[in-house]
Amino acid sequence: MQVSIACTEQNLRSRSSEDRLCGPRPGPGGGNGGPVGGGHGNPPREGGSGPKARAALVPRPPAPAGSLRESTGRGTGMKYRNLGKSGLRVSCLGLGTWVTFGSQISDETAEDVLTVAYEHGVNLFDTAEVYAAGKAERTLGNILKSKGWRRSSYVITTKIFGGGQAETERGLSRKHIIEGLQGSLERLQLGYVDIVFANRSDPNSPMEEIVRAMTYVINQGLALYWGTSRWGAAEIMEAYSMARQFNLIPPVCEQAEHHLFQREKGEMQLPELYHKIGVGSVTWSPLACGLITSKYEGRVPETCRATIKGYQWLKDKVQSEGGKKQPQAKVMDLLPMAHQLGCTVAQLAIAWCLRSEGVSSVLLGVSSAAQLLEHLGALQVLSQLTPQTVMEIDGLLGNKPPSKK
């Protein structure tokens, strides 16, 4: 499928001060990226002519496609990245409400978790209409209302797909996208969400209908951006192409499972989408639903999420022979490296996800404020993941996807 990418005004701007911190980059002529003939960024002299003067008027090339501009928050140490190639800045660690909010933990604990996250610079909070049958959104909305934080200081995302039992309350029809999002906003007690995700592709809904419905909710002010969740690369490309063909709004990111034992999509497909069409990625389950810790050891504790009703598949995965030999054995192999870096295996696994190309944010799922604080420690581990360390991890895991090159 051929996709033409429009050259935006943003791509023609000179790099920001943050981008300059990344060091010089080659310009069109192979130099250090500075303006030819301008000297240290000075503009050409008025009335100048010739190749040097003309070259100085040519805008600098955009930032390298594989680099997400990153900055560090004041006082918190949290790092912020662009959501794909949009202008939205999100914390590289976000907080998910799957399983926990409205079901596994109390509302008081949920408030503690959200408060600690916000105070430590987390600005991305993810939920969905289907989480705890809408209770997760309601809990999140109640907490946000009680806190009184500035709406402009955080990012709320929700997902649309399975909101009810009726046939019209599921899927990605125009009717359900609009009505489902309106229901989410009522539960969240918000006027809009920052990002609405189409959760799972829907073979019953034409792609044009989905893209038009998402464009509509954005134009109506119900959402600011839209993205996909658990879509295939071909489906995302189709949505992008459809948006360009009919002058509609394309998706800005994909939500995907990505961890040490789920690598192909996160390392092969998503970076390619980022390079080609600017679609970033928000990844979830960095600990493989808790499998990437040493707490299981071949059994399922009574308090873990694998024992929750509806998650028998996770329990089976833990107790299966493959589950015992693959994740758990490899986790034990990673322990010496984690000790060498002065961190836990969980922190190492989260930091490993953060260094993946094109990843804007990694969603954390926690059941206590203490657990969240431990996971936030992955930010300190990230700077220690040198290419050599990553190669050692790949060697221990033995599951690195083959490079297309």
Strand order of the β-sheet with 70-72 is 70-72, 79-82, 89-91
- Residue 16 sits at φ, ψ, to 5 deg, of -80, 175
The answer to whether 311 is a known catalytic residue is no
Tell me 203's DSSP state.
T
Q: State the Cα–Cα distance between residues 364 and 372, nearest whole angstrom.
A: 8
Angle at 147 between CA 359 and CA 140, to 5 degrees: 55
* Cα dihedral value 215, 219, 220, 226, nearest 10: 50
- How many other CB atoms are there within 10 angstroms of residue 167's CB atom? 10
Would you say 279 and 273 are in contact if contact means Cβ atoms under 8 Å apart?
Answer: yes
The backbone torsions φ and ψ at residue 81, rounded to the nearest 5 degrees and listed phi first, read: -135, 160
- Gap between the Cα atoms of 85 and 8, Å rounded: 11
Concatenating the DSSP letter of every residue in 283-312 gives EE-TTTTTTSSSS-TTS--TTSGGGSTT-H
Instruction: State the catalytic residue, choosing from 80, 118, 131, 274.
Output: 131
Q: Which of 389, 399, 257, 264 is nearest to 329 (CA)?
A: 399
Going by their DSSP bridges, the two strands 155-160 and 124-126 should be labelled as parallel
Nearest CA to 222 out of 195, 251, 249 is that of 195
Q: How many helices (H) and strands (E) does the chain have?
A: 17, 11
Decide if 27 contacts 62 (C-beta within 8 A).
no
CA-nearest of 331, 344, 313, 373 to 116 is 373
Residues noted as catalytic: 131
